[in-house]
Structures are given as structure tokens and as C-alpha cells.
Amino acid sequence: MLKRLLQVFATPTEQEATATVEKIPLAAAVLLLEVAHTDGEFHHSEQALLGSLLKEHFSVTEEALEELLELADETRRNSHDLHQFTREINKNFSQSEKEQIIEAVWQLVYADGRLDHYEEALMRQLGSLIGLSHRQLIDAKLRVSKA
């Protein structure tokens, strides 16, 4: 597993195109898992939604989902910050796509029916790291909380 992790984040140039395709869902999965674990609990509803969000927004197949989530969880536990993951999102997504991503993350935050103050703080940090304004972050939050 560690070998695969190193391959994804330290890719040789001949594998660069493939690695970029793999880095994006991995980065998203790590961020989603981090948010899901922020309040100290990983609810079944969050776990179910996590898979749906990865399939819907990042074209992850059902067959690849379990392996991606295992790798993302290991990566999350071994990482020290979120910058390496948000960097991939910043490099590969437009501003409107970033807003869609943050909206998906808000959906995960609200999957357990409540907003923890740690989750809210992490969402502010994520919004800033991917270049969203406070207004964009709040607009995404409101769209999700009203749904």
C-alpha cells in the first residue's frame, strides 16, 4: 500500500498523465475523509455519501472505490497537512468546479444531520486553500443546508 502511495505522489514523467488522473480522486477522497473524521465520528451516512460523491464528482468506478478509499485513508492518517491535496484540486479545476467540490464536501458535513464547530473550521480552511471567497463558501453551505 505504501509503495502505491509513493507512486501516486512521486510519479516519473512517463506516468505523469496517468498519475494526474489518479491524484485528483485521491486528493478529493483524502479531503472528504478528513472532513468526515473531523468531528471524531465517522457515521454510516457519511461513509455511504462519500462513495456517492466520489463516483459522481470524480468519475470513480464502483470497482475502484474500495481501493481508493483504503489508499486515501492511509494517506490521510500519514499526512501532516492538506496543502498537497488542495494543490491538486487547484491545478486541475476551474473556479466553478471548485465551488461544486466544496458543495459536495458540505453535503458530507451535513450527512450526520449536524455541523460540528471543528467541521466548520476545517471548511473555512479548505475554502481558503482552494481559493474560494468567504461568500462562495457560505453560498455553497446555504445551497446544501436548504436541500
Task: Convert the pLDDT of each residue in 113-147 to its tens digit.
Answer: 888 899 999 999 999 999 999 999 999 999 998 87
Contact 141, 105 (CB under 8 A): no
Pairwise CA distance, residues 33 & 70, whole Å: 10
Name the nearest CA neighbour of 60 among 96, 5, 23: 23
Count how many residues are written for the chain.
147
The confidence score (pLDDT) of residue 20 equals 47
In this predicted model, which residue has the larger pLDDT, 20 or 51? 51
The pTM of this model reads: 0.78
CATH code 3.40.50.1370 for 2-146: no
Identify the three-state secondary structure at position 42. coil
Contact 32, 60 (CB under 8 A): no
